[in-house]
Amino acid sequence: MPEGKRDLWYFPILAEASLGVGDWDAVEGRIRAYAAASDAKAFQVASTLRQFTEVWDVEAVDDRGRGIVAILRARLVELPGGKLELSAGEVQRLRAQPEPEPGQLEAVLGKQGPETFRWWKTGLERALSVAAVRQRFGGRMGTGFLVRAGDFGFEPADELLVLTNFHVINEHGAYPGVKPEEAEIVFEAVDADRTYLVEKIIWSSPVDRHASAASITTLPPRVAARVPQCSMSSGR
C-alpha cells in the first residue's frame, strides 16, 4: 500500500500477519515502525498487546514472543494515555520473568529500548512498596506506600512509614477514615496473606492537604531496599 494511503492500523496489522507466518524479524520491525515512533499512540500498542496475549498467547509458546510482549508492556505505560491493570499476582509473575535481550529491545524500540525497559522494571520493583489499607476484619479503604522516616525529617531515620490519605487513616477516625488501631496494612504484591498493624500516626497534614504518615509494627520483608529516596520535607 502506498505510504500516503496507510492508516494507523497498517503496521499493527502487518505485525500480526507476520506473527501468523512465524516471521519474528518482520514482527519486530513492523512493531518498531509505530511503537518506537516519537508520536506513538497508546491505543496502537495496547491493541497489539491485547492480540498477542489474548488471541495468540505468545508468552506461553515462544521466548521471543514473550520478549515482545514484555517490551510492548514497557512501551505502553510510557506513552500518554497508556496504562496496564495488573493484579498482585501478575506483578509477581512479571518481576520473575527474564528480561528481553538487549538486541531485541533495540530491534523493537530502537536505542531507547533498554532505557524504556529499565524504567518499566523499576516500576515493578517499586510496586512492592505499595500497600492496601484495610479496616481490620473489613474491606479495603485505600492505598498507601512506604517511605523512609528520615526523608521526611523524622527519627529514627531508617524506620519505614506508610504514607496514605488523611481520609483513610487519621487520629480521630474522622469519616470515612479509621483510627490507627482499626487499620491494617497489606503489601499484596509481596504477600497478600500477611497483614501489618498500625501502631500510631506519626504526622498528619492539615485536612486540606490530605496526608497521614503511619508507623507499622514490623518491617515488611523484601520491600525495605526498594523504597525510593525522597527529597520532600516533613511539612511540620
Q: What's the CATH code of the domain at 217?
A: 2.40.10.10
Among 123, 38, 28, 128, which Cα is nearest to 72's? Answer: 28
Distance CA 178, CA 172 (A): 7
Boundary (domain end) residue, out of 92, 127, 162: 127
- Say yes or no: 111 and 135 in one domain: no
235 lies in some domain: no
Show the cell assigned to 220: 515488611
Domain that holds residue 188: 128-226
Answer yes or no: are the C-beta atoms of 232 and 203 closer than 8 Å. Answer: no
pLDDT digits (tens, 9 = 90+) for 140-179: 999 999 999 999 899 999 899 999 999 999 998 988 899 9
Predicted local confidence at residue 226, as pLDDT = 64
Per-residue pLDDT band at 232 (split at 50, 70, 90): very low
Share of the chain above pLDDT 70, in %: 93
Predicted local confidence at residue 230, as pLDDT = 53
Answer yes or no: are the C-beta atoms of 19 and 29 closer than 8 Å. Answer: no
233 lies in some domain: no
Distances (CA, A) of 49 to 13, 72, 129, 218, 225: 12, 6, 27, 39, 32
Say if residue 31's pLDDT is above 60. yes
pLDDT digits (tens, 9 = 90+) for 201-218: 999 987 777 899 999 887
Predicted local confidence at residue 137, as pLDDT = 85
Amino acid in position 191: D
- Say yes or no: 85 and 188 in one domain: no
- Helix H, strand E, coil C: the string for 188-204 is CCCCCCCCEEEEEEEEE
- Say yes or no: 52 and 132 in one domain: no
- Say yes or no: 68 and 143 in one domain: no
Predicted local confidence at residue 61, as pLDDT = 85
The average pLDDT across 31-37 equals 97
Per-residue pLDDT band at 236 (split at 50, 70, 90): very low
- Say yes or no: 199 and 169 in one domain: yes
The model's pTM is 0.85
pLDDT digits (tens, 9 = 90+) for 95-123: 999 999 999 999 999 999 999 999 999 99
- Say yes or no: 123 and 171 in one domain: no
236 lies in some domain: no
- Say yes or no: 200 and 118 in one domain: no
Quote the number of domains for the chain: 2
231 lies in some domain: no
161 lies in some domain: yes
Distance CA 223, CA 144 (A): 14
Boundary (domain end) residue, out of 83, 111, 127: 127
Boundary (domain end) residue, out of 94, 127, 160: 127
- Say yes or no: 97 and 109 in one domain: yes
